Amino acid sequence: MRFGVLGNAKIARTQVIPAILEAGYPVTTIGSRGPANPWPGAPAMQWTSYEGVIADPAVDAVYIALPNHLHAHWSVAALRAGKHVLCEKPYALTTEEATAIRDAMTASGRCFMEGFMVRHHPQWQWLATQPLGDVRQVQVVFNYDNQNPDNIRNRPDMGGGALWDIGCYAVFAGHWLLGRAPDTCGLHVERHPEWGVDILSQGWLRWDATATTHSACLQFAVSMQTAKSQSVHVAGTTGWAHLHAPFNPVNGNAVNPVRATATWSPNGGLHHEAQTHHFEPCNAYTRMVTDFVNTALHAPSTGLRDSEAIQRTLLRLFKSADNSAVT
């Protein structure tokens, strides 16, 4: 599969384009708003416009690394042009955008996948299968410090803010671990006095008890003006587990065999009684690309996975902000 890229973003340069190449696929074309500006170590590519990428017959799949407010427009355009699409999260900012992508994917028969690379790291499969009993509590923390007023994450007109950028990972964690959308949710936000984006979002998701499971609650705090830190802690009826770097796990390989780690106690107990688990060295971005290609070739209609449900929960959280919980 031959890839084209929309956008010259840092994540494209440093993570996803190298991952595409490591997975064994060529990157033939890149679209940029400015003049050709290849970086050190960049593969040989044709430089063109966004329109040029999706019109290129040498491109089978498009990776979209644009600001959030452009994701849906160019995803729809690429799908209508007959390209498979791998798009950075969040893939849509409104219900209308999500519907447009679904319709374009269905009409074209092409695959659309949101680039939640974390779901491709083995630590999440491990977490979801640990014998912890029924999940009762999940705590999610994700912070970094971004004081640049010109950064797109600090631009509300571009879909900036902590909830869209990193709060989506907390929502992903809840959907992943509980297997469905929450029954109720609520959100409190602190907005920057000048920029207007949420620089701190604190929220909760709650799953009601069923005939076979206990109720569960996820609490999260995400901030764009706090010291860099992240963790996911899951407590079940019989044990607990803790991911140390759930959203930015270190990339490892045979040459550089660094490993992500987790702490767990399947029978309960305090931290000093827990065990440490070391995951195999891997690059989650490379695994994401491989999974995307396999899905595009064999089951393109399944590409959206749980992205639609996660997006709906994010919109519910925004609706509930500083008011009452929503169901």
Q: Is residue 305 part of a domain?
A: no
Mean pLDDT of the chain, nearest integer: 95
In a domain, 299, yes or no: no
For the chain, what is the domain count? Answer: 2
In which domain, by residue range, is 168 found? 119-282+314-320
Are residues 24 and 103 both part of a single domain? Answer: yes
In this predicted model, what pLDDT tens digit does every residue of 69-102 receive, in sequence order?
A: 999 999 999 999 999 999 999 999 999 999 999 9
Query: 240 with 213, same domain?
Result: yes
Do both 124 and 265 map to the same domain? Answer: yes
Report, as an integer, the average pLDDT of 196-209.
97
Instruction: Give yes or no: residues 141 and 104 share one domain.
Output: no
For residue range 100-147, list pLDDT tens digits in order.
999 999 999 999 999 999 999 999 999 999 999 999 999 999 999 999
Could you tell me the CATH number of the domain that includes residue 265? 3.30.360.10
Q: Which tokens is 114 given?
A: 């949101």
Query: How far lies 166's CA from each of 38, 90, 150, 224, 239, in Å?
Result: 28, 10, 18, 9, 27
Q: Which of 80, 115, 150 is the last residue of a domain?
A: 115
| % of the chain exceeding 70 in pLDDT | 98
Query: Do 150 and 269 sit in the same domain of this protein?
Result: yes
Q: Are residues 111 and 123 in the same domain?
A: no
